[in-house]
Amino acid sequence: MQFGPGVLPTFLYYFTATSLIVGFVTIRGLHLAPETGVPQVVGAIAGLIAGGLGAYFNRTATLTVSVQSKKKFLNQLESTLSQMGYQKTVEEDEVFTFERSAGTLSPSRIYVQLEGETATIASRARILRQVKQAIEPSGVS
């Protein structure tokens, strides 16, 4: 099941937005004509940097863990995510959605799909690293 954009769409989003903004700011701020090519080069370089960072931190990634007891796993996961500021908001056909409260600066979702003896957790890569670190010490793997 695909939960969100992968590396390429995320890279393209950050690359394009940053390139356009930096190119425009370079034209207006440095009073350079677009014909010189400098704004495009500066925009492309900034876009590559932003695209790489955006793809690394904000792409959708998945983590698959073995589950012995679905109920026990969900209780541990809900407790862990609750400490991280997430609440379960939706539950449909063995797919659970956790969200942060609306007042946070980075509202992101965590999706959990249970299939047989495994659970697939999907979210932004930076959030998933935190979740992985939080659930590994509890013996869930």
- pLDDT tens-digit profile of 112-139? 998 888 999 999 888 888 888 888 755 4
Asked if 64 and 127 sit in the same domain, the reply is yes
Asked if 11 and 52 sit in the same domain, the reply is yes
Asked if 88 and 131 sit in the same domain, the reply is yes
CA dihedral in degrees (45, 46, 47, 50; nearest 10)? 130
Asked if 111 and 71 sit in the same domain, the reply is yes
Asked if 124 and 68 sit in the same domain, the reply is yes
Asked if 106 and 46 sit in the same domain, the reply is no
In this prediction, residue 2 has a pLDDT band, given cuts at 50, 70 and 90, of low
Asked if 115 and 131 sit in the same domain, the reply is yes
> Range of 99's domain?
60-135
Q: Euclidean distance between the first and final Cα of the chain, in Å?
A: 20
In this prediction, residue 39 has a pLDDT band, given cuts at 50, 70 and 90, of very high
Q: Is residue 140 part of a domain?
A: no
Structural domains of the chain, count: 2
Asked if 52 and 64 sit in the same domain, the reply is no
Asked if 39 and 95 sit in the same domain, the reply is no
For the segment 88-119, what is each residue's pLDDT rounded down to a tens digit?
888 888 889 999 876 666 668 899 998 888 99
Asked if 47 and 76 sit in the same domain, the reply is no
- Angle, alpha carbons 84-8-25 (nearest 5°): 90
CA dihedral in degrees (51, 54, 60, 61; nearest 10)? 100
Q: Is residue 2 part of a domain?
A: no
Asked if 51 and 72 sit in the same domain, the reply is no
Asked if 47 and 70 sit in the same domain, the reply is no
Q: Across the strands, what pairs with 108? A: none
